[in-house]
Amino acid sequence: MHTSLNLILRFSTASQDDSCGFSATRRAPTFTTASIPILPVCFDLADLFGGNATSGFVNQTGNQPAVAGEKGLHWSILNADEYDASANYSSVMYRQHLLNPNTDDQKPCHPARRRATLYPGKGCTEKDPNDENGLQPWYGFSCWSEDEGSCGTAPYSFQSFYIQAGNEDRKCWEFARNGQSGAVRMSKSVVAAFVGTSVALWLAL
């Protein structure tokens, strides 16, 4: 379904702790795209996973008529049958990974080709669905990730998300709250690799 260029989002109903990575979330409702849209595209989870389509295309050719060729965003989903509209999808697994990066700038923790921002309200708004006058923070990812991806958990159930082109001049986000620094949980395999490397470096000193 995916190539090494894809951006993938998987939504879970509870914190995955150390099992949050790509391998551990294969049955979760999954969104993926290999496109880089001209303008941000908003998706509501209920419409995306509750509909009948498993793939689609958002045509943006008319937004940039001077550029030849089809422009827009192709998307696809998996595990829509696992989606429950009444569930609390507060956890997300994000993966935007290159198997063979050509430069240091394409390695994990550097700005990637796309950004994903996630919201508490439908229509990609910060409106708190449980408080008519309240707002909740949005969360963003925009880094190249490790192979197992990155995970984050919000204090609410995600209702929608934006996919948009990345900005290489911007500091990349890893589950950044309102675009600020945010904590990211890594899978066991990533943590083990990090610990092993740290021990090896310490022994070499």
* HSE toward the beta carbon, residue 119, CA cutoff 13 A: 20
> Checking DSSP bridges between strand 150-153 and strand 55-59, what pairing results, if any?
unpaired
Does 24 have pLDDT greater than 90? no
Determine phi and psi for 11, rounding to 5 degrees.
Answer: -110, 130
pLDDT confidence band for 182 (50 / 70 / 90): very low
User: Model confidence over 109-145: pLDDT tens digits?
Assistant: 899 999 999 999 999 999 988 888 899 999 999 999 9
Q: How far apart are CA 86 and CA 63, in angstroms?
A: 36
pLDDT band at 172; cut points 50, 70, 90: confident
Question: Is residue 1 within 8 Å of residue 32, measured between CB atoms?
Answer: yes
CA distance 146 to 174: 11
- pTM, whole model, 2 decimals? 0.81
Q: How far apart are CA 94 and CA 28, in angstroms?
A: 12
Q: Is the pLDDT of residue 2 over 90?
A: no
Q: Give me the pLDDT at residue 1, please.
A: 37
pLDDT band at 91 (very low <50, low <70, confident <90, very high): very high
Asked whether the beta carbons of 48 and 31 are under 8 A apart, the reply is yes
